Amino acid sequence: MVAMIRAAEAAVPQARDMLVSAVKPMNVQDAENILGGGDTGVTAFFADKTQIPLSERFLPIVNQKTSQVGLADQHNQIVAKASTLGLIRGKHLTVERVVTEKALDGLYFMLGEEEREMRRVPLVRAAPCCKR
């Protein structure tokens, strides 16, 4: 379990550049969706624009970290056998894919929490010159 957490922690910092670059091609429709998207409109925008490419960027990092632990290989072998027998179904059967998905879930959850707080008390997050 610790290895999985470390794998997710190693992958998440890679998100910053991709999140920033998601804003550059923003159009009027995107802005309208953000404004009408409730307390997490910005987070939904980022998730829509970055989830697939971030998953592709995270997966090799997670693979590297989880390969250092033999348990991941054992788990993947058991799941593969269970899948061929029809006991398990799903697209994310490997430990690496599950950890990658959960890392992204955690990233978007934290973005959403920060966005809610910024919308609740906007001046708390303002630049130092603008704070009361």
> Mean of the pLDDT values across residues 73-91?
77
Condensed to tens digits (0 to 9), the pLDDT of residues 89-121 reads 766 578 888 888 988 999 999 999 999 998 888
Residue closest to 96 by CA, chosen among 51, 53, 59: 59
b/e 80-109 (16+ beta carbons within 10 angstroms → b): eeeeeeeeeeeeebbbbbbbbbbbbeebbe
Element (H, E) at 35: helix 28-35
Domain count, the chain: 1
CB 30 within 8 Å of CB 105:
no
Quote the pTM value. 0.77
User: Strand, coil or helix: what is 89?
Assistant: coil
Q: What is the CB neighbour count within 10 angstroms for residue 19?
A: 15
**How many angstroms separate the CA atoms of 82 and 65, rounded?**
24
Q: What is the model's pLDDT at position 79?
A: 81
**pLDDT one-digit tens code per residue, 53-78:** 999 998 998 888 887 777 677 777 88
- The domain of 34 spans 2-130
